[in-house]
């Protein structure tokens, strides 16, 4: 059975954009394929400590798993949740892959260049994390790894390392993940969803944006979120139309309305076609968003910490066996066993 693998970033809060653009599509993908694929969802805690070392890691691990559950992920069967640091084979394989990856190819990673640019001191983890990522993937022979464009290069590196190692020994050890074009096709996400910044709709909504009014957080009080929608930037054309280029603010509202109600965008566009009162649209979207947030927050509160720990521990017991088997195969090939 093929494996779909995804990592949940462990950093505090998510925006409505993160939720609609990343979490919901992943949950849909997992629910669609959980009969025919292993669904590995791991919390990359070892990746997290590359940059953020603070007291909230444990809290954030639990919260990130809860987000998936509250977003409707169906558990059980082939779905495995686990924390990276609870599966020591990730670190073990990371080292072995370090001895195969070249400094040159890691130096070419644009993420590394971007993240280290202008910094006086950069930890080795930032340089090496693509190799840890390769270990995360190859341990499970994961075929599909839904990631954003910024991670495509790392996926290619993973493929290259797998192929290089397979060529080195008599029998293949790893299944390389599919090429990025195949990944994109499988995810069926081309055109991807980009929720815009409420104040500057030319930009995308970002959690790191400092203007509170420009983003909706999943933890926002529903009435506060409604006010943010009411104060969203629109335009002066007085025509409700989906046109991201000329009317990004209005288009963004139509898009949000469709996604939080889980109805096709075309349907929302038709409903509002020919209307000119932006206030009416805002009122409707504000209502939809606050209803959505209230019910999401209720779902979230209903998930106990114990349930999350149980899920993680069950997953970890399972994947440790799978990962150890693969690791042993690699260790034997390298003469370590
Ligand atoms: P930051 O400002 O720190 O970069 P971010 O909001 O851009 O935060 P990321 O952690 O970079 O969030 O990305 C998490 C996931 O959310 C990625 O899969 C990314 O593609 C998706 N995502 C981020 N912003 C949006 C958005 N506005 N609309 C849709 N998807 C988004
Ligand atoms: Mg980002």
215 near 28, Cβ under 8 Å? no
Give the pLDDT confidence score for residue 11 in this predicted structure: 75
Residue 209 predicted with pLDDT over 60: yes
Which residues sit with their C-beta closer than 6 Å to ligand 1?
9, 15, 17-18, 21-22, 148, 193-195, 204-208
Q: Is the pTM of this model over 0.85?
A: yes
Q: Please state the rounded mean pLDDT for residues 108-117.
A: 90
Q: Which fold has domain 3-192+304-333?
A: Rossmann fold (3.40.50)
Q: Please state the rounded mean pLDDT for residues 54-81.
A: 93
* Best of 206, 214, 251 for a ligand 1 pocket test (most atoms within 8 Å of beta carbon): 206
Residues of the chain with CATH 1.10.240.10: 212-300
Residue 45 predicted with pLDDT over 90: yes
Cα separation, 91 vs 337, whole angstroms: 17
262 pLDDT band, cuts 50/70/90, is very high
* Best of 15, 22, 183 for a ligand 1 pocket test (most atoms within 8 Å of beta carbon): 22
- CA 220 – ligand 2 centroid, Å: 20
Cα separation, 42 vs 44, whole angstroms: 6
Q: Which two tokens stand for residue 166?
A: 């397979």
Residues of the chain with CATH 3.40.50.620: 3-192+304-333
Q: Please state the rounded mean pLDDT for residues 55-59.
A: 89
Give the pLDDT confidence score for residue 41 in this predicted structure: 98
Kindly give the pairing relationship between strand 3-7 and strand 79-83: unpaired
Q: What is the DSSP string of 147-206?
A: --GGGHHHHHHHHHHHHHHHHHSSS----PPPPHHHHHHHHT-TT---PBPSS-TTSBP-
Q: Considering every ligand atom, which ligand is closest to the CA of 11? A: 1
CATH homologous superfamily of 212-300: Tyrosyl-Transfer RNA Synthetase (1.10.240.10)
Residue 316 predicted with pLDDT over 80: yes
58 near 24, Cβ under 8 Å? no
Q: How many CB atoms lie within 10 A of CB 287?
A: 14
227 pLDDT band, cuts 50/70/90, is very high
Residues annotated catalytic, as ranges: 115, 204, 207
Q: Please state the rounded mean pLDDT for residues 317-331.
A: 98
User: Tell me: the pLDDT tens digits for 273-293?
Assistant: 999 999 999 999 999 999 999
Residue 190 predicted with pLDDT over 60: no
User: Tell me: the pLDDT tens digits for 292-313?
Assistant: 999 999 999 999 999 999 999 9
- CA 161 – ligand 2 centroid, Å: 27
Give the pLDDT confidence score for residue 189 in this predicted structure: 61
């Amino acid at each position: 059975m093929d494996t779909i693998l995804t990592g949940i970033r462990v950093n505090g809060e998510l925006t409505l954009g993160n939720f609609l653009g990343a979490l919901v599509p992943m949950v849909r993908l997992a629910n669609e394929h959980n009969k025919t694929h292993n669904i590995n969802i791991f919390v990359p805690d070892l990746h997290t400590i590359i940059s953020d070392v603070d007291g909230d890691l444990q809290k954030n691990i639990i919260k990130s798993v809860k987000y998936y559950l509250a977003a409707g992920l169906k558990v059980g069967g082939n779905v495995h949740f686990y924390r990276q640091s609870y599966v020591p084979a990730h670190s073990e394989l990371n080292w072995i892959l370090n001895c195969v990856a070249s400094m040159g190819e890691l130096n070419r990673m644009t993420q590394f260049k971007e993240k280290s640019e202008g910094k006086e001191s950069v930890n080795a983890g930032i340089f090496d994390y693509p190799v840890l990522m390769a270990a995360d993937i190859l341990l499970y022979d994961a075929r599909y790894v839904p990631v954003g464009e910024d991670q495509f290069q790392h996926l290619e590196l993973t493929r290259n390392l797998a192929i290089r190692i397979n060529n080195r020994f008599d029998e293949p050890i790893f299944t390389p993940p599919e090429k990025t074009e195949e990944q994109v096709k499988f995810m069926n996400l081309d055109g991807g969803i980009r929720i815009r910044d409420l104040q500057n709709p030319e930009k995308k909504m970002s959690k790191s944006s400092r203007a509170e009014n420009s983003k909706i957080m999943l933890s926002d009080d529903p009435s506060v979120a409604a006010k943010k929608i009411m104060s969203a930037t629109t335009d002066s054309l007085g025509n409700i139309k989906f046109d991201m280029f000329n009317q990004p603010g209005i288009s963004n509202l139509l898009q949000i309305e469709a996604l939080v109600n889980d109805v096709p965008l075309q349907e929302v566009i038709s409903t509002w076609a020919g209307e000119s009162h932006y206030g009416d649209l805002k009122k409707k979207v504000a209502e939809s968003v606050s209803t959505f947030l209230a019910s999401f927050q209720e779902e979230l509160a209903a998930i106990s910490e114990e349930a999350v720990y149980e899920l993680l521990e069950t997953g970890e017991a399972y994947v440790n066996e799978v990962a150890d088997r693969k690791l042993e195969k690699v260790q034997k090939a390298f003469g370590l066993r």
